[in-house]
Structure 1
Amino acid sequence: MGLRIAVDIGGTFTDFCILDEETGIMRVAKTPSTKDPINGLFAGLSQEGIDLADVTLFSHGTTVATNALITRRLPRAAMVCTQGFRDVIEIRRANKEDLWDTYKDVAPPYIPRRDRLTVCERVDASGRIIAALDEAGAREVARILRKRQVAAVAICFMNAFMNGANERRMKAILEEEVPGVPVTTSSEVLPEIFEHERFSTTVVNAVLSPVVGTYTARLGERLAEGGYGNDLLLLHSGGGVMTTHGARQFAGRLAGSGIAAGALASRHIAMQCGYPNSIGLDMGGTSCDVSLAYEGRSRITKDWYIEFGYPIRFPSIEVLTIGAGGGSLAWIDEAGSLRNGPQSAGADPGPACYGRGGEAPTNTDAHVVLGRLAHGLAGGRVRLDPSLAGAAVRRGVAERLGMDVHEAAEAILKVADANMADAVRLISISRGYDPRDFALVAFGGAGALHGAALARELSIPTVIVPPNPGVTSALGCLLVDIQHDLATNYIHPAADADPVAIENEFAILEREAWERMRHEGVAVEDVAMERSVDMMYRGQWRSLSVSAGTPVGSTRGLVEAFHAQHEREYNFRRDDAPVDLYRLNLRAVGIVPKAAFREYSGNGQMPKAYECRDVWFEGTAPVETAVYRREELPAGARFHGPAIVEQLDSTTVISPGVATEIDRFLNIIMHVGS
């Protein structure tokens, strides 16, 4: 017996996907998260009767790194800088998250000024060493850090992206003088121009190294004690996984672990259904994460952060997060307009209909008033009180706007849908993609409640609801390969760039990639390398990435691909303008064998609805609507809305007239445009 287990630990629940390799049958589970996330994880394994000796792959998405940055529960760390540059991460870019709020300050740096020490050294912009590292000064810095008992050190020297020799020597001295303390160098983590971004990423990586190292060591030991004999795989922001060795070295990559899993799963599900272009809508209780995949590939960004002002420049799947969820509060602003979120009722007290003391109306209360949610959530563990929901909507919205309670509930959801539609437009239309060319994958606990309405708003023709929407993010952890992203600056006019010189730079990156894969234990035949080049029009400082072949021939093809990419992204191109190469990128992928998911067959016979109830849909009087249990819908079934489909982890709303089918993987596919 071989089991593949994926675990996604969130703030409220820990989600499990358990795949039987022999049968392709997958089962899912949820357990409450605990203060020590490892305890909650093992409680779930025990609940499901998992013998770790039967597990062939254990993949894990975690918010441990993200939460450590948000809560600032970080070990004491230090930063060693070139003399005169200790305040780069405090000066930042001198910008603000809200330009017009003069009173809101940016959060302080992760390393305070007293722990940012300097040494004498200097490298110029061409990489020439002007002043070698002052070794006496370096050893004095090491003595101070040893006395302060710091848990990690970030080394950030000016222009080290061009020549990291001084950083490497400083690291060697620290490893000699302060043994056992993890040391991170900027030339190893992010060998790129722009010192603030490079320093900030290095600092994040350093302060997270002890957190991630301790966590992965503890989890790995407990898995081994239970009988698991393979590598623990950890999902990182770029959409791949790392072993514990890679995670300790590049801990900052786990800062976006949680949000990447849902984006990967939605892309896979859409591809499985025959849609290479897809938009993922992961709507939970408090927030909504929106992602996009085009031609089967997720969009990647390097412009992201956990706290504004402190960028993390590791490649990350682009995910846009807004405050829209089942618990988002409906409220009236000072001008008398109806708003929705980002404030949330959270899990405690939760929406008014939970009966735990919440009084403000939420999206969940609006769905209860409209009959879309009725008896309870989570298989009946959370009971819903329609009278409390109605009272909250009436008191908070209906009476203040002169509406009846059903009109008010519908208005609440329209505002929520409008907020999410704006987020989808930002990640699609503003990037040069037409939503009408995409399928919408709606998941999370609340995504399937809003999928059809959102698709109508954006003219998206197809909505896909996975078999287990509430644990889809955990599924993403089963679908990934070991992945490392490397890059080097290569600033050169494209017109006279030497392909041989470019090949030499790629060869250096490939040697580093092979070394990392060797440490990860990946077989040579399972490694694939993907090249890309970042390019820009001369005078720009923002770049676009285009794929590069192996070997790189003439740069003319790269330039033409850049023009086409720029036209799609910004709706114009300048064929007469000179183009510069900016950065060379290499993605090394270690293929992890994938188990096949079971395909189902059925006669397509629709089951009898287990109940009928009045449901209010947009702009209609109440409609008698059939309610089905998700587990009773067979593959091949076809029907038209209105319908409600209920299951343990989510509820799907199918609007009147919407043609719906159940595919061979038991996805619900709604053809909203039909």
Structure 2
Amino acid sequence: MTKEGKPIKVGVDIGGTFTDVAMEVGEALHSTKVLTDYSFPEAAIVKGIRQVAESAGVELSEIDTVIHGTTLATNALIERRGAKTAFITTQGFRDVIEMRTESRFEQYDLNITLPAPLVPRNERFVLNERIAADGSVLQPLDLAEVDELCDRIISAGYDSVAVGFIHSYINADHEKQVRDRLLAKKPDLSVSISAEVSPQMREFQRFNTVCANAFVKPIIASYLNRLVGRLETEGLTCPVFMIHSGGGIISVQTAIEYPVRLLESGPAGGAIFAAHVATRYGIDQVLSYDMGGTTAKICLIEGQVPKTSKTFEVARTYRFKKGSGMPISIPVIEMVEIGAGGGSIASVDAMRQIRVGPHSAGSEPGPACYGRGGEHPTVTDADLLLGRLDPNEFAGGSFKLITEASASAMQRDLCDRLDIDGPTAAFGISEMVDENMSNAARMHAVENGKELADFTMIAFGGAAPLHASRLCEKLGIDELLIPPGAGVGSAIGFLRAPFGFESVRSAYTKFSSFEAEQINKIIRELVNEATSFVHQLTDVQPEVECTAFMRYVGQGWEVPVTVDVREYSQADGEVLKKAFDAAYENFFGRIIDGLDVEIVSWSLRASSTMLPPPPTTVTAKNKAAEVQSERRMFDSQDGVFHQASIVARSSMQPGDWVAGPAVITERETSTIITASREVIMQADGCLLVRAKKA
């Protein structure tokens, strides 16, 4: 805290290419981007915090809070760089994580490629035990058999163990016994049990989730312990918190125990950032678009609340294909993520077509123009050759981009193979990556029954403002907002997140045999569990929100229904049934008469209260912005180079406007205004980009 009593908060987001740091000193924002250090990620964090502290004129010891999100857990799963992990399950269910659900996500592909199981068959072990679907014990544990298996696993030198038994979500006793006996024999062993990591039905998803948790737990624990120790050495004695995939803040200790909850932590911060902007403007339908150096993320935000889910997939083997990835059943802000970032590598396929991603040059070596050893053309190289980037002002001028290196890589990998010139190849890369992202957005919208022409786009991340105007053209979206600090949007989103935790549990009940006390017991347990995590961080009584996942008997999947957190009576069964009818009709247009309804699972979110941001209104254009200079820039819709106006964002006042083609420059990113658009500076610092009016 400063001498004037202003709180100092720092948000840190580690991405595949850049580590973003945002510091708030009272209402003042300071930010920077530094290249991610793959070997020691904490080194980039310390470097970035030092830079923003220096620019803010504060000492590291004055910082009150550090909130951190990271893609390290996700990358470890995608690249299969985790601990040596054993999986213990019920006899007869050893191959569940390999058999999957037996659904074919690509029905006519005779050479379909399924993700390999995270734990190979020779490292999966079974015990002769069985819990029934109602929680009763059909086959007790043989403790002698348990001890013998524990000795085998320990002698084999496993670093981590996942335990997942059939129906343990309703009765966790057997899983807990196995964990206790493992830890009694080796106290420093990392053990994860599915009843705590993901107490939900559907064994394939639950088993896969606990295996993922165990797989990344030792490396995340090592990293977070190193990070906290390094920050203390640097003089930061403040608490360090983590952002989880559902968009809440948890302690480092909770993150170490449940690292699988960190899988979408960075993108979750971005969605919170976009929702905060949407709340300021009172916009109910928003498409959040986050593009960094490695990936692009798209999220639907309705009523200023990001869409959420209780499952998602990582490491899909087929782009856009549900079911082709590794399922993780944890609460998450739902979004589409594709391998399309500034560092995504372009290549030519067997049909002589340009392809972009999913492989990325990252920060080591980085795009060819970085001059750090990258040999292949990337999206950033294409943007440089198309005039969208200034080689002397990239990242605030912290390092120079080498145009000749981009041109050389483009000539070698694309031009020579396709017999085209450099600008055409760069245009092909740009158009391909933009089409990949627009296709992902269209598919996500269709799956949710939405028409994107009615939405406003909010774009952030280092590369998104470069491509957002073109995406709006492709998607038919009229208005786009680029918030202040967009280049480090996810890190700023961390500073807007509440302390929060979401507890989930499968607990089956039919409305035809409704028992109010069973419902009340479940809700009480969920409230106690979720609020206990929040109370570890703050004394404030959190707000709670409960969702019941219901379906007609015989259906395979559920509809989320928001329910009140209160004591229910027997008469309230009809109240819950009407809530389901309303939700089902909203999704599918009509209800089905005469069918019984069942509740399958529950989710309860506890979070600290966040004050809403002050509202703002759209500022109309007033006077032309001050143009610093001009440069040639390619416009994808026209297919030709134009003279584009160059305007410094810092020089623009509310109401200042400029017509495209133009580039609005700032330290962490640049906003491209295409020839069909114009931009107006808003009172809160946002750039409003909209289609030119006839």
Same-fold status (TM-score > 0.5): yes
Cα distance, 1:511–1:51 mapped onto 2, change above 3 Å: same
| Paired amino acid for 2:31 | V
DSSP 3-state at the match of 2:215: helix
| Distance in structure 1 (CA, Å) of the matches to 2:646 and 2:448 | 39
| Distance in structure 1 (CA, Å) of the matches to 2:252 and 2:297 | 27
Matched, 1:38 2:42: yes
Give deviations 1:449-487, integer Å, cap 9, x for gaps: 221221122222210112222211211211112222222
Cα distance, 1:463–1:145 mapped onto 2, change above 3 Å: same
Q: CA RMSD, aligned part only?
A: 3.5
For residues 295-374 of structure 1, the aligned pairs below 5 Å read 295-308=303-316, 310-328=326-344, 333-335=349-351, 339-342=355-358, 344=360, 362-374=378-390
| Paired amino acid for 2:8 | L
| Distance in structure 1 (CA, Å) of the matches to 2:613 and 2:63 | 13
Shift of 1:535: 1.2
Matched, 1:5 2:10: yes
| Paired amino acid for 1:542 | W
| Paired amino acid for 1:668 | L
| Distance in structure 1 (CA, Å) of the matches to 2:511 and 2:169 | 21
Give the % identical residues: 31
Cα distance, 1:41–1:615 mapped onto 2, change above 3 Å: closer
1:672 alignment counterpart: 691
Q: Which moved more, 1:546-555 or 1:348-357?
A: 348-357
Q: Which moved more, 1:289-298 or 1:134-143?
A: 134-143
Q: Is the 8 A contact 1:459 1:673 kept in 2?
A: no
Matched, 1:529 2:544: yes
Matched, 1:612 2:616: no
Cα distance, 1:511–1:336 mapped onto 2, change above 3 Å: closer
Q: Is the 8 A contact 1:602 1:634 kept in 2?
A: no
1:646 alignment counterpart: 665
| Paired amino acid for 1:485 | E
Cα distance, 1:503–1:181 mapped onto 2, change above 3 Å: same
| Distance in structure 2 (CA, Å) of the matches to 1:219 and 1:391 | 39
Shift of 1:311: 1.9
Q: Is the 8 A contact 2:17 2:293 kept in 1?
A: no
| Distance in structure 2 (CA, Å) of the matches to 1:499 and 1:291 | 36
Shift of 1:78: 2.6
Instruction: Please give the TM-score of this superposition, normalised by the length of structure 1.
Output: 0.89
| Distance in structure 2 (CA, Å) of the matches to 1:401 and 1:172 | 62
Q: Is the 8 A contact 2:17 2:294 kept in 1?
A: no
Q: Is the 8 A contact 1:270 1:464 kept in 2?
A: no
Cα distance, 1:358–1:190 mapped onto 2, change above 3 Å: closer
| Distance in structure 2 (CA, Å) of the matches to 1:545 and 1:211 | 34
Cα distance, 1:223–1:559 mapped onto 2, change above 3 Å: same
| Distance in structure 1 (CA, Å) of the matches to 2:410 and 2:532 | 60
Q: Is the 8 A contact 2:245 2:261 kept in 1?
A: yes
| Paired amino acid for 2:528 | R
Shift of 1:260: 1.9
| Distance in structure 2 (CA, Å) of the matches to 1:195 and 1:659 | 52
Cα distance, 1:60–1:361 mapped onto 2, change above 3 Å: closer
Matched, 1:27 2:30: yes
Q: Is the 8 A contact 2:462 2:487 kept in 1?
A: yes
Matched, 1:478 2:495: yes
| Distance in structure 1 (CA, Å) of the matches to 2:663 and 2:402 | 19
DSSP 3-state at the match of 2:64: strand
* Alignment counterpart, residue 479 of structure 2, candidates 462, 465, 472: 462
Give deviations 1:564-592, integer Å, cap 9, x for gaps: 44455456653554432211211122447
For residues 388-427 of structure 1, the aligned pairs below 5 Å read 410=427, 412-427=429-444
| Distance in structure 1 (CA, Å) of the matches to 2:477 and 2:619 | 28
* Alignment counterpart, residue 524 of structure 2, candidates 507, 523, 532: 507
| Distance in structure 2 (CA, Å) of the matches to 1:485 and 1:281 | 25
For residues 84-163 of structure 1, the aligned pairs below 5 Å read 84-95=92-103, 106-163=114-171
Task: Structure 1: state its 5+ residue gaps.
Answer: none
Cα distance, 1:188–1:622 mapped onto 2, change above 3 Å: closer
Cα distance, 1:623–1:144 mapped onto 2, change above 3 Å: closer
Cα distance, 1:231–1:350 mapped onto 2, change above 3 Å: closer
Give deviations 1:303-345, integer Å, cap 9, x for gaps: 3233455421011111212233334455555555555444556
DSSP 3-state at the match of 2:189: coil
Q: Which moved more, 1:5-14 or 1:584-593?
A: 584-593
For residues 255-266 of structure 1, the aligned pairs below 5 Å read 255-266=263-274
Shift of 1:298: 1.1
Instruction: Please give the TM-score of this superposition, normalised by the length of structure 2.
Output: 0.86
Q: Is the 8 A contact 1:432 1:568 kept in 2?
A: no
2:515 alignment counterpart: 498
DSSP 3-state at the match of 1:27: strand
| Paired amino acid for 1:235 | I
2:256 alignment counterpart: 248
* Alignment counterpart, residue 67 of structure 1, candidates 44, 62, 75: 75
| Paired amino acid for 1:263 | A
| Distance in structure 2 (CA, Å) of the matches to 1:357 and 1:110 | 32
* Alignment counterpart, residue 624 of structure 1, candidates 643, 648, 667: 643
Q: Is the 8 A contact 2:250 2:537 kept in 1?
A: no
Q: Is the 8 A contact 1:452 1:672 kept in 2?
A: no
| Paired amino acid for 1:661 | I
Give deviations 1:632-653, integer Å, cap 9, x for gaps: 1123423433321122221212
| Distance in structure 1 (CA, Å) of the matches to 2:227 and 2:373 | 37
Q: Is the 8 A contact 2:625 2:658 kept in 1?
A: no
Cα distance, 1:494–1:359 mapped onto 2, change above 3 Å: same
Shift of 1:597: 12
| Distance in structure 1 (CA, Å) of the matches to 2:645 and 2:78 | 44
Matched, 1:192 2:207: no
| Distance in structure 2 (CA, Å) of the matches to 1:228 and 1:360 | 40
DSSP 3-state at the match of 1:428: helix
Shift of 1:187: 1.8
Q: Which moved more, 1:451-460 or 1:267-276?
A: 267-276
2:321 alignment counterpart: none
| Distance in structure 2 (CA, Å) of the matches to 1:390 and 1:225 | 44
Q: Which moved more, 1:427-436 or 1:495-504?
A: 495-504
Give deviations 1:494-553, integer Å, cap 9, x for gaps: 3553344312221122222233334x2431x33111111101233221112111113257
2:454 alignment counterpart: 437
Cα distance, 1:603–1:566 mapped onto 2, change above 3 Å: closer
Q: Is the 8 A contact 2:170 2:507 kept in 1?
A: no
For residues 500-579 of structure 1, the aligned pairs below 5 Å read 500-518=517-535, 520-523=536-539, 525-551=540-566, 552=568, 554-570=572-588, 573-574=591-592, 577-579=595-597
Q: Is the 8 A contact 1:563 1:575 kept in 2?
A: no
| Distance in structure 1 (CA, Å) of the matches to 2:243 and 2:615 | 20
1:165 alignment counterpart: 173
| Paired amino acid for 1:17 | A
DSSP 3-state at the match of 2:572: coil
| Distance in structure 2 (CA, Å) of the matches to 1:37 and 1:404 | 39
| Distance in structure 1 (CA, Å) of the matches to 2:374 and 2:188 | 50
DSSP 3-state at the match of 2:342: coil
